[in-house]
Structure 1
Amino acid sequence: MANAYTCILSTVCVFLSYGYETAFACPRQGTGQSLLGEYSTHLPPKEPLVLALKQYDIDIKIIRKVNNQETTSFGPSGRNGIEFIYIRPGSGERTITLCILTKYNHASPGSYQITRLNNISPQALHGIELMDKAAQAWSENNEMARRRATAYFDQVSRLAITELALSEHARLYSLNARIQAYRYREALSLAEQILTTTSAAGYSGYSGYWGKGQVLLRQGKHQEAISVLSSAIILARSLPPDSVSTKDIADITNSLAEAYLLDGNLARGRQLLTDALFLAGKDHRLLAAIYNNLGFVSLLTSHRQSGSSRDQAISQSIDEHQKARQYAVKSGDMLELTYIDNNLATLYQRAGRLRKARQYYWQALNLIDPGDTPLRFQVIYSNLGLIYQHLGDYQKSESFLKKALEIASQTRSSQLRLARLQCRLGNTQRLMGKPKTALVHHNLCIRYALNESNRELLLQARYELTADYLMLNNTREARKNADLIIDKLSPETDRDSGLYSQVLKQYARLERLEGRLGHARIKINLALQYSLSSRNPGLHSAILAEAMHIHRARGDTARALAYGQEALTEVERLHQYLEAERLGPAWSKTSHEIYLNVAEILLNRYRETGSRQALEQTLEVLERSRGTTLRHSFSRRESTGQLTPKEHLQALSELADTYAVQPDKRGARSLPFSYYQKHEQIESSRLNKAGPPSSLNAIKPAQIQEKLQQGQTVLYYLKLSRALYVFTITQSNTALHYLGDPKTLDTLHRQARKQLITSDSIPYQTLNLLSELLLLPAAIPGDTQDLILVLHRNLHSLPFAALPVLAALPAYQPLSARFNLRVVPSMTSYFMARKNTGKEGHTLDLAIFADPVLSPPGDSISPSTANTRELQTWSRNLPPLPWTAREAEKLKTLFRQAKYQIYTGPAANRSNLRTRQVRHARILHIASHGYFHSLNPDNIGFALAAHEKPGGVESGFITLTELFSFRFNNELVVISGCDTGMGKNMDGEGMLGLSRGFIAQGAKHVISTLWPVADKASAKFMQLFYQHLKQLGEVDRALSKAQDDMRSLPAYRHPFYWATYVLNTVSPEQTITFDNLKGIEAISTPRPDNGDNL
């Protein structure tokens, strides 16, 4: 392009060499960039400055200082393009300084040339001004600014300015901009235009082929990309020696290697990467991209291997990606680092290291600027949606996948991308129990896949469609779709996605359901052979479970049991990496049926043979399935480190409060994507400080008997699809009892819940029937005093305290009057020594939160907003609780000799709840409104005082997530409010709600409620409970006595008033003693301290 510089007045050339010293005013380094040189001049009045900075194998960034005002510019010009500078004429004399820096650190030597331009045409001057505006906009590094930059480039392109080859450069920069913004269809069209209007010689020529090759690569047209990128390399090498760009050739070679790898030619791809490494020298940005692809080679190698060879290849891929990451960090290339972190996440996912996978996904997300192109977010959201789908957190999966699909639709993504998202979202919705909705998504997926002629997606969509029809019991359509794909699969191309094994498993299931067990066994054996190679962490255990079903159907119970036990080992391997709030319980629920099927095989063996060993093995398997997440949580030492950022918790609280519905309103509003996004940020900060994975075996049946005391009986319930059982366990015996049809339980359960949530009903006949079903066959020993309940499924929301003792009929003597009742998640969590509790003493005997101010003073509801208030927050619409304040005052009198602290009114707030003295109080009592809605079970919490702040009111809604962010080393937590014992039913994990939150975070005992309670009645009940606790010193006995006393009062005789209270515990030690310290004066508005660290 030398012939274009006819207007040159002066030329300054600077050659880069590391350690370059300068006497100029520019800093040696900008934000991570090395200073290359400086250009300074004085401009007379009314004179512009027009410069061209030609780059030679170096990416530059320019900081301009005009009379002490700084602006930055760099464009998508590549390392051999030209950056144009235009500084407008001014009214007075100006000092101009340009600081030229490397855009990336640790770049290999290159050079640049500054040319001052004069005597150019008005059209060219206008074009340069637009190019400069584009570079400044591009450097703002957000999507809107970069779209504006692209528009400037397009404007210059349309002007057809041949002078300085301006329009040619503009088209090329616009192409690069579109590629970076994932606008591939536009980019391909532009690349074709460049190749037809630009001479093949020179930088623009090979760059046009390079850009087209990158687009074809991203569109999945690998062979076309190979041809075009090969042409780019040939053109780049054909330039005169002084114009050859070694770095560009290395970069194009790396892209060509990727195309060969995606086309299945690993040997050629590996050789090209070796060539690229040699050409890259010590350029860290290039080395990051090349090692990223070397890691891809190892990943593709793992697809062709199994067992330890596969594991070794994945490990090598992780090592190479980690090396790529180091180079990207050192170079400051945040875009490449985003890709690498995303790739590392998928690798850790394949290796089953799910905590690491999620950590890297969130590192990738955090690298993306909020204003950047949404498509980068879409990729990560889609991957997170998939991992949550695999692990059973379907609400979160649906939210992330819907957001990814929304972004893809808004940005007019390729049909390939839309098809993949439709398939993933449909799968999640089927797993949520919405197969008809899933059918819609999967039919869309098929349509897009056909339009794109994409074999893999078409097979995936047909597989998902088959699963939809199976759930709808439409085996004819399921068989039709399965037959369309079964012979089109290949273990070489479909094993990484898991599609090969998934389809084989599905086909084996169809064969089993249709009675062709021999064919089913052949298919499931093939599926097992390849399932370990999938990135789906739960696939292998699911296929082992299907193998169990097939062999059980064939009558080979020994083989069935072997496959089932192997499946459980795989389930538990994953479980140790999952946290206690969401993913652990979600995975428990997803995998629970495997435990039940194994238990059923053993149980049938016991019923057929009477073998005590089979009985104990059954109970052992069930115990492994109960409270698994708690067991892992308890076995980890208490974590230390920074707290979850308070602003994240507050933002989550505001969203939860806004989307909660009033108790008198029907329906529920789905939580928005922003809720799950904020929750993921909180979870990400927890993962960074979490202790190492741990595994603890469940307690054996013999050990349970050894640890039980005289007078204690365990009722261990098991609800299968067609049968209901209970194990009765004492010091001297373990017995199994068949109870009946679970459908009978479901009917009575619904009736009882409906009758007990109001004092106007007569529930006693239903309660009698429940007692006959659940207690009569259990034959509770006559000397039993303590009844320990291990509940299952919907039994968690049943008030056992209200069930009558049948021997006392026709008189109504409830179970709570005869026994001390304790509900435990599992016998292992009940008896185990916990490592996750603090060792400090209790600074308070009693901390009480009561009658919080739910709306700050002056927060009145005007007539104009009264009808829309529900759209604001749940907590600000709640009625006050004056009786809870009286309750607190009576407790103050009762515990005069104890050390207590009472927080009422505005002091009953989250800041005080977080203080160390409250979280380490012997007893924490919270009297407020609880929130749970069965149609939106992710939203769980309770209300504390709202807080006025500049610009608005800070919600007092305490979410379950907030509980999981702090330690609560209390011996007893009492949550006196509506539905505080309710939550998501997670099968073997039990009820995931407030009680579980406090227990998981350190509390030994929690008393909560199973339905809404009246303010005045609750105050009376708590007065009775604490009187008995002070007298008896034991939690379970105090609760039973309080229920008995409450029932004896005519006004509160109905179970509505007293049976709602339930004790959940993870400690055999029920004794609570007080230190008999001198009484201190309780205060209602204490100043919150700042000691809210872990």
Structure 2
Amino acid sequence: MGRKWLGWVAAVLTIAVTVGTARSIGVEGVDWQAEANRVLVEGLQLYREGTAQAYRQAIDRWQEAAELFDRSGNPAMAANVLTNIGAAQLQLGDLNSALDTYQAALPRLEAMGDTHAIAQTLTQLAEVRSLRGEYQTALDTYHRALPLWEQTSYQTGIAETLNALGTVYSDLGEAQKAAETYAEALALVETLGNRANVAATLNNLGGAYLDLGEFDRAIESYNRALEIWQSIDDRSGEASTLNNIGYLYRQQGDLEKASSTFARAVEIWRDVHNLRAEASTLNNIGDVHFLQGDRDRALAFYQRALPLRESAGDRRGLARTRYSLARVYRQRGDLDRAQQEIETTLEIVETLRTNVLDEELRASFFANQQDYFEFYIDLLMQRHRQDSNTGFDELALHAKERASTRSFLDLLNAAASDLKQGIDSELFDRYQKSREQLHLLERRRVEVFGREHTDEEAQTLQAAFQDALADYSDIQARIRTTSPRFADLTQPQPVTVADVQQQLLDDETAMLVYALGTERSYVWIVTSNELTSYDLPPRAEIERLANGFLEAIYVPRYRTRPQLVATATRDLSQAVLPKDLDRLSQKRLAIVGDGVLQYVPFAALYLENETPSIDRFEIVNLPSASTLAALRRNHKTHRTPSKTLAVFADPVFSPDDDRFPNAVVTSELPPELDRSARQSEVRFNRLPFTRTEAERISRWIPDERRFSAWGFDASRDLVTNTRLDDYRIVHFATHGLANSATPELSGLVLSLFDLQGNPQNGFLRLYDIFNLDLYAELVVLSACNTGRGRQIRGEGIVGLTRGFMYAGADRVVVSFWAVDDAGTAELMDRFYRQMLENRHPPIAALREAQLELINTQEWNLPYYWAAFTVQGDWNLEQ
């Protein structure tokens, strides 16, 4: 059930044309009410034309209508017309204006007590929040709307809001909540008589059950939806659900049923002339034959799908089919043709990626294309094994870099760049609005093409997208004529192997780049004058060994058993570290991990002689080589901070904290903090050693060159309002939350109460961190799990490290797991002494501190000394 914006506008119009009782005749003899109704109707007629120009004209007419309603003494209709304006702005992709308009309408409607209109506006406002990727705020707003719909007994509003809530939960990865919400919506829509809505809700519910792996319940929902589509003769709905059922059978491994179900869907798609859907389902049938080992039949179906993809203008589908062809040609032994097809696929993907302007959607889109890059890398390394002198291994490493952290690279590049420089302000404003319009249209394409839709709906949306894309391309071309550097700023390119060797590496550093794959994995060792590559076990085997290693060194009942820890460490080390790593003359390893390896402390892994690699090497971690290049470019734009250290430590979390003077405070956690804490399994107990930690590290720095805040002073407001750009080092010692399901709920927990016992917002969330302004050479996150976050294939870990680097930090010290309070204080004291007294760079200082702990009796377990690593640049002078 998609959003029905035009339906809302029509509902408002009905109210407008029936309100004729309170007319106001001005001194000019004008009937303002009648004039307002006339202009309102003109706006509706323009809106229904569905073009960008007509939407703009509708906005102009409705703005005039709102003024006329105000003049006629009808503020209720003026407020309702504002919601129409918001709908038109939304159609234009102007999310900021739509947000402002709905927010302006809401208090006027609330002042009049119009519960139905308030609920309607909140629902629209929540939709805008969702489109902007502000999922938590969208959830909160939908939950504000629900009880209002219930007050009005408007069941359709309740049902649509529940469906929208289910979709947001699904976007957040909370499949269980999505299923529960869709089930609640289903119970309601079944009473309303619209059988198409019942079928659509069942389809949504089936998808949620499929995400949960509850195949029996998924097929039950899909079959019920199918019966309804057939009974109301909705053939597109029927085919869409059949396609979903076919996918379910494929997931279960029942390939015969999958093939026959897909075939039924193809017949319907052909009858209703839906080329895009027919091609997609033909490709699905080809995939089934490929899984069955019938390469010839698979090739035939892919070749049938290819011209349909081209005719439908389905570039994303075209990439999928060419990838499918590449797989078949590789299995047939035609490696040249396979490479040609997969390179064509990746060219399409790169073009599509630049057209997805929303950063979250771009990351999600690229994650869905990682199978293409994995296949390409594996193919090139296969060719390298056959001919090691043709440079296929170098091409494979560059392909890995092309596949990695591209959205983060875009963000870092934009963070330090003034895109407006040298560009006419009016032209730049058009560029921004054009981006927003494409942003919305791309989200709507994802939503519409992901559900049942008519040919007319698809064609209208595709035409609108192509018009918007043409406008955007034209504006970009005009900007490039005045700002030749514009393309470099907005579309940064990944570094090549030559770039890494000549510009990024020094003679003391070797870079290890990992790529985990389904059939086999790889590591490349890059030095300033050499490239070598090694085959590794498959992803699943490395994941099993890595998880066993992490469990052995972290879980309390295992970490004190030396033999178990040694065995788990040895097994993983032998799987992922080349045997001749000791031969390297370099003293430092820069690790570009992949998948689960991004959570592994390489300092604790064994070299061939079963000594920890920290005995031989300094270790630094990087999201990608291109990220290092971006960090170095950005560092060159930084001014040098005049002060040394800002530290925030030992906040007040609990109402029973003994630092309260007298009062006993009772309060619940804010909803978003409570939710993230539950998902992260964190309890907010006081961390007394963080005060000790802060005092110890502060003693190395004169008072006039440091800033310290602990206890009640260690607050979110103080962090966001302090000039942190004036400090070289920023240190947080507190609880950290890494929410892998919803990274925007990750953050640092600061004081939740003020000195008077009043609860306050103490959660420094990821978006707060992105908005900080830093020139820090080092940010230290002395907290639990600060190196963790949401793992997105190809993009890496979306979490606190990314936020602080975007804010301007060159390096970030983070933790791999929930650390010990006292042990961390001990490590940090030694780390700062090595850095500030002994003048070691941060990476070397952390190694020295960790070696000191290894040689103590109390802190020599890897659980204590291996928890922290440095992410970022090891050499700011390069």
Q: Output the TM-score relative to the length of structure 2.
A: 0.73
Q: Which moved further from structure 2: 901-910 or 1026-1035? A: 1026-1035
- CA distance, structure 2, for counterparts of residue 637 and residue 1021 of structure 1: 32
**Closer, same or farther: CA 434–716 of 1 in aligned 2, 3 Å:** farther
CA contact (8 A) 1:852 1:909 kept: yes
CA contact (8 A) 1:912 1:918 kept: no
1:743-782 pair list within 5 angstroms: 743-757=540-554, 758=556, 759-762=559-562, 763-777=565-579, 779-782=581-584
- CA distance, structure 2, for counterparts of residue 367 and residue 543 of structure 1: 47
CA contact (8 A) 2:85 2:98 kept: no
**Residues 930-969 of structure 1, C-alpha deviations (whole Å, 9 max, x = no match):** 1236677664222111134999612312222332333333
Q: Which moved further from structure 2: 826-835 or 377-386? A: 377-386
1:529-544 pair list within 5 angstroms: 529-531=307-309, 538-544=316-322
Query: Cα offset for 1:912?
Result: 1.5
1:256-335 pair list within 5 angstroms: 283=39, 285-295=40-50, 317-332=51-66, 333-334=81-82
Matched, 1:850 2:649: yes
1:1050 partner SS: coil
CA contact (8 A) 2:501 2:529 kept: yes
The answer for the alignment partner of 1:728 in structure 2 is: 525
Query: Cα offset for 1:987?
Result: 2.7
1:481-560 pair list within 5 angstroms: 481-490=261-270, 493-495=273-275, 498-531=276-309, 538-560=316-338
Name the aligned partner's letter for residue 572 of structure 1. Answer: E
- CA distance, structure 1, for counterparts of residue 201 and residue 128 of structure 2: 10
Query: Cα offset for 1:596?
Result: 0.7
**Residues 869-919 of structure 1, C-alpha deviations (whole Å, 9 max, x = no match):** 989977995221222112211222112277110010011111111135225
Aligned length: 723
CA contact (8 A) 1:719 1:792 kept: yes
Percent of aligned pairs with the same amino acid: 19
1:840-989 pair list within 5 angstroms: 840-855=639-654, 857=660, 860=664, 878-896=684-702, 899-932=705-738, 939-948=745-754, 953-989=759-795
The answer for the alignment partner of 1:608 in structure 2 is: 386
- CA distance, structure 1, for counterparts of residue 796 and residue 734 of structure 2: 24
Query: Cα offset for 1:815?
Result: 1.3
CA contact (8 A) 1:375 1:408 kept: no
**Closer, same or farther: CA 435–947 of 1 in aligned 2, 3 Å:** same
CA contact (8 A) 2:82 2:101 kept: no
**Closer, same or farther: CA 943–761 of 1 in aligned 2, 3 Å:** farther
Bigger Cα Rg: 1
Of residues 804, 808, 823, the one that matches 1:998 is 804
1:625-774 pair list within 5 angstroms: 625-638=403-416, 694-707=490-503, 708-757=505-554, 758=556, 759-762=559-562, 763-774=565-576
- CA distance, structure 1, for counterparts of residue 398 and residue 366 of structure 2: 16
The answer for the alignment partner of 1:49 in structure 2 is: none
2:514 partner SS: strand
**Residues 139-186 of structure 1, C-alpha deviations (whole Å, 9 max, x = no match):** xxxxxxxxxxxxxxxxxxxxxxxxxxxxxxxxxxxxxxxxxxxxxxxx
2:238 partner SS: helix
The answer for the alignment partner of 1:27 in structure 2 is: none
Query: Cα offset for 1:376?
Result: 7.9
CA contact (8 A) 1:378 1:403 kept: no
**Closer, same or farther: CA 82–1002 of 1 in aligned 2, 3 Å:** closer
**Closer, same or farther: CA 493–962 of 1 in aligned 2, 3 Å:** farther
CA contact (8 A) 1:1029 1:1035 kept: yes
Name the aligned partner's letter for residue 219 of structure 2. Answer: L
The answer for the alignment partner of 1:618 in structure 2 is: 396
- CA distance, structure 2, for counterparts of residue 830 and residue 321 of structure 1: 44
**Closer, same or farther: CA 482–385 of 1 in aligned 2, 3 Å:** farther
Query: Cα offset for 1:450?
Result: 2.7
Matched, 1:395 2:172: yes
The answer for the alignment partner of 2:139 in structure 1 is: none
The answer for the alignment partner of 2:618 in structure 1 is: 820
Name the aligned partner's letter for residue 647 of structure 2. Answer: I
**Closer, same or farther: CA 629–529 of 1 in aligned 2, 3 Å:** same
CA contact (8 A) 1:844 1:917 kept: no
- CA distance, structure 2, for counterparts of residue 537 and residue 396 of structure 1: 27
Query: Cα offset for 1:729?
Result: 0.9
1:462 partner SS: helix
- CA distance, structure 1, for counterparts of residue 674 and residue 842 of structure 2: 39
Query: Cα offset for 1:409?
Result: 5.6
Q: Greater relative contact order (Cα 8 A, min sep 6): structure 1 or 2?
A: 2
2:579 partner SS: helix
Query: Cα offset for 1:447?
Result: 3.3
**Closer, same or farther: CA 449–827 of 1 in aligned 2, 3 Å:** same
CA contact (8 A) 1:392 1:586 kept: no
CA contact (8 A) 2:620 2:843 kept: yes
Higher helix share: 2
- CA distance, structure 1, for counterparts of residue 850 and residue 676 of structure 2: 38
**Residues 420-479 of structure 1, C-alpha deviations (whole Å, 9 max, x = no match):** 344345446646766555434433432332343211111111111111111121212212
Name the aligned partner's letter for residue 902 of structure 1. Answer: S
2:784 partner SS: coil
- CA distance, structure 2, for counterparts of residue 911 and residue 849 of structure 1: 12
CA contact (8 A) 1:381 1:401 kept: no
- CA distance, structure 1, for counterparts of residue 329 and residue 13 of structure 2: 64
Q: Which moved further from structure 2: 710-719 or 377-386? A: 377-386
1:752 partner SS: helix
Name the aligned partner's letter for residue 510 of structure 2. Answer: T
**Closer, same or farther: CA 623–360 of 1 in aligned 2, 3 Å:** farther
Query: Cα offset for 1:542?
Result: 3.3
CA contact (8 A) 2:172 2:741 kept: no
The answer for the alignment partner of 1:1024 in structure 2 is: 830
Give the CA RMSD over aligned residues.
4.3
CA contact (8 A) 1:494 1:500 kept: yes
CA contact (8 A) 1:843 1:917 kept: no
Name the aligned partner's letter for residue 334 of structure 2. Answer: D
**Closer, same or farther: CA 292–625 of 1 in aligned 2, 3 Å:** same
CA contact (8 A) 1:465 1:478 kept: yes
The answer for the alignment partner of 2:137 in structure 1 is: none
**Residues 587-628 of structure 1, C-alpha deviations (whole Å, 9 max, x = no match):** 332222221111111111111222432111111110011111
CA contact (8 A) 1:852 1:908 kept: yes
**Closer, same or farther: CA 387–902 of 1 in aligned 2, 3 Å:** closer
The answer for the alignment partner of 1:806 in structure 2 is: 608
- CA distance, structure 1, for counterparts of residue 773 and residue 310 of structure 2: 38
- CA distance, structure 1, for counterparts of residue 96 and residue 302 of structure 2: 34
The answer for the alignment partner of 2:593 in structure 1 is: 791
**Closer, same or farther: CA 78–534 of 1 in aligned 2, 3 Å:** farther
Name the aligned partner's letter for residue 871 of structure 2. Answer: N
Name the aligned partner's letter for residue 562 of structure 1. Answer: Q
The answer for the alignment partner of 2:629 in structure 1 is: 831
**Closer, same or farther: CA 892–618 of 1 in aligned 2, 3 Å:** same
CA contact (8 A) 2:573 2:605 kept: yes
CA contact (8 A) 1:423 1:460 kept: no
Name the aligned partner's letter for residue 773 of structure 1. Answer: A
Q: Output the TM-score relative to the length of structure 1.
A: 0.59
- Gap regions ≥5 residues in structure 1: 1-73, 87-96, 109-282, 296-316, 346-355, 642-690, 1073-1094
- CA distance, structure 2, for counterparts of residue 1027 and residue 798 of structure 1: 26
2:493 partner SS: coil
The answer for the alignment partner of 1:173 in structure 2 is: none
